[in-house]
Structure 1
């Protein structure tokens, strides 16, 4: 018996207030009659909602749209955020050596391992918080009401990082920098579920993966720009650095501060982004609002004009049941295992990805990118090495995914990426000593590894969670998946520095070959967990949602018509 059948069994259609026994108190009859009328009204609303299926025909224009100005605007709006995210994340890898020369001369011009871990890793803690909080808010409050605030946090955090200073007594530059990198991380974390969800829900089935990959590929350009900006600023201050190493204090602040420029240029576009039509239909039950949004995106002014006049009469308001929807959906193992798959693959990926990316200077030194011993030359060679790897492997990997994801599919690319990374890390670990003698071969293999990070799981772990979950829980589930990845990044950030020093003096990195071997095993586990995720190539979000919604008794909770009034709270059954 369905939920509605149970309700109707207590409310015979023949019963009316006039059918009540005549010896009942008149006041009681009035109260019960009023309760009955309220309950009957609610039941009518429930019947209307559950008998009708959502009018998703208005999404047809969205599914069929070609590239237009709104598509480009979405790419710019979401992509600029990821460009800024990557710039802010990876610039710290180039800035940390400068901090050592300026503030830690007494420690051999190096930050202590614990301090370095905090400076690099605090942004990851903030990112984890931002991913969970903004993921939840994106579902509970709406995409439109939240999108843009994460970018404001990024701007604030970036500017304050660049302006971090010391008190005469008390907090140091490093402490302030660490705090503001946490704030910066909150904004970066919020960008993951929000941009993924917004882009996914505004895309057609035939190009959704490609558009999401383009958004994520901006990370590659952000990484590349971090190296380019550092090279330019170093060149501008070359004579000043050679004459006084403390002038690096100006260099690192300029390098960090540039990161807020792209964010400032697009924050208005985010704050004025219309609500996702799928959210309007699936959660708000506001079909007319969705039609207006689709008309705006497809430049269909006729539809917009026609529906604007009828919007007030056709709108159906509904309660949001986000908490209940989340519990109901993931109480089904078929759905929960997908969340486990997206979370574990991202977690395992980020252990290796951030373990390498945030400590790339160590690997580059082992590869031969070492200066002549002067401060300027050491920094120049390290930055040049980062730029080389970014140009040869990091950036091309993203764009291979962009062009092939709709042909190969997400799952195949992820399997391929994890498999190749396992093999490449085994080679780097087993032949480390021999490869150090042949710099060109070392660079080739390491660059190939960076290529398969991005033509592989680094991109697909972002794309898949934005597709495989229903609209009601999409942002939350993406936030959980991304936060799982950030746990891996935190583990790598704080564990890598200590792990590579096992069996040697500080700075020797004696355990680096074995660490690369550990990364190989972790990539192998990522390959295994990929079996838990489904393929979404060529499927609309509605088709994917229908496939996952396999609990008939709770289907109303997750359907487009999910709000169920609480009729039992209105009074006694009649």
Structure 2
């Protein structure tokens, strides 16, 4: 012990050099929807809300299109009661989900960290647009009287690429893109705007698909216009995704906080 005490301080080697802590970054103080918030996150919030709005316009309209398909594949005999008819409709919807909706989700799970959220969203919007153009443009001249297996295949693809596309990614991106103190609020705003799109799409497509009194079928001209509009909506979503949506693949939630702190420290 005495030898240790006799060693001068200059001869004591440090195990590691002293590291000074960096200066503390200022705590962010700007509120939600302030000028500073809009300057830093306004574009992100706009593109998340807009793409969610557009995909819900299309997705909920597609669900209403099922009513035009049931009577072609389900024999509604006079002796069939309401319970049997409901069972047949439920079976039809289950087949549709198993063949398109559920596989779309699982394909997204497999590819989302391989090709990224933005590319999946762009692919989904693109192929949904192609499907609606393929259904809508010839609807008046062919599909209105020939809803067959080919029509069902195209209709199923719209749900597949909705789930392997914007119907999944629009829910994921807002949860990863914003800092923690704004994350849930911005996600809620984007989701609320999406439900406005669902209402608009439902009302608009209900108008287009209502049956005529004389024929008992929807007006083919209105259906053509409605389906082509859905295709155009998908193309608008594709452009918004390409030009405005930032990729979050490979970034942890903590990376958003570091990026935000660097912005604050440098301004």
Once superposed, what is the RMSD of the aligned Cα atoms? 2.8
**Contact conserved, 1:370 with 1:381, CA < 8 A, in 2?**
no
Give the alignment of 1:192-203 within 5 angstroms: none
Number of residue pairs matched by the alignment? 238
Q: 1:476 to 1:450 in 2, by over 3 A?
A: same
Are the aligned partners of 2:48 and 2:190 in contact in 1 as well (CA < 8 Å)? yes
CA distance in 2 between counterparts of 1:550 and 1:490 reads 40
Find the residue that maps to 1:536 and give its secondary structure.
coil
Deviation at 1:442, TM superposition (A): 1.2
Q: Is the 1:468–1:536 Cα contact (8 Å) retained in structure 2?
A: yes
**Does the CA-based 8 Å contact 1:347-1:486 persist in structure 2?**
yes
Map residues 354-373 of structure 1 onto 2, 5 A cutoff.
Answer: 354-357=60-63, 359-365=64-70, 367-373=72-78
Structure 1's 455 and 367: CA in aligned 2 closer, same or farther, altered over 3 A? farther
Return the match for 2:142 from 417, 434, 447. Answer: 434
Following TM superposition, where does structure 1 have runs of at least 4 consecutive aligned residues deviating by more than 4 angstroms?
A: 548-551
Q: Any idea what SS the aligned residue of 1:364 has?
A: helix
Could you say what secondary structure the match of 2:178 adopts?
coil
* Alignment partner, residue 238 of structure 2: 527
Instruction: Rate the CA distance shift 1:514–1:445 in 2: closer, same or farther, 3 A.
Output: same
**What is the CA–CA distance in structure 2 between the aligned matches of 1:438 and 1:485, rounded to whole Å?**
30
Deviation at 1:361, TM superposition (A): 3.5
Counterpart of 2:7 in structure 1 is none
SS across alignment from 2:89: helix
Could you say which residue in structure 1 is the equivalent of 2:110?
403
Cα distance in 2 between the residues matched to 1:399 and 1:367: 30
CA contact (8 A) 2:25 2:265 kept: no
Q: Select 2:171's aligned residue among 459, 462, 469.
A: 462
CA distance in structure 2 between the partners assigned to 1:326 and 1:430 by the alignment: 42
Does residue 1:52 correspond to 2:20, yes or no?
no
Instruction: Tell me the distance in 1 between the aligned counterparts of 2:258 and 2:106.
Output: 31
CA contact (8 A) 1:425 1:520 kept: yes
Larger RCO (alpha carbons 8 Å, 6+ apart): 2
Change in Cα spacing, 1:480 to 1:438, as seen in structure 2 (3 Å) is closer
Q: TM-score, normalised by structure 2?
A: 0.79
Q: Specify whether residues 549 and 337 from structure 1 end up closer, same or farther in structure 2 by C-alpha distance, changes over 3 A only.
A: farther
Quote how far apart the aligned CAs of 1:391 are.
0.8
* Distance in 2 of aligned mates of 1:360 and 1:379: 17
| Structure 1 residue 534: Cα displacement | 0.4
The answer to which structure has the higher helix fraction is 1
Please, which runs of 5 or more residues in structure 1 have no aligned partner? 1-49, 55-281, 284-320, 556-574
| 1:510-521 matches, cutoff 5 A | 510=219, 511-521=222-232
**In the TM superposition, what is the alpha-carbon distance from 1:516 to its structure 2 partner?**
1.5
- Change in CA separation of 1:470 and 1:408 when aligned onto 2, cut-off 3 Å: same
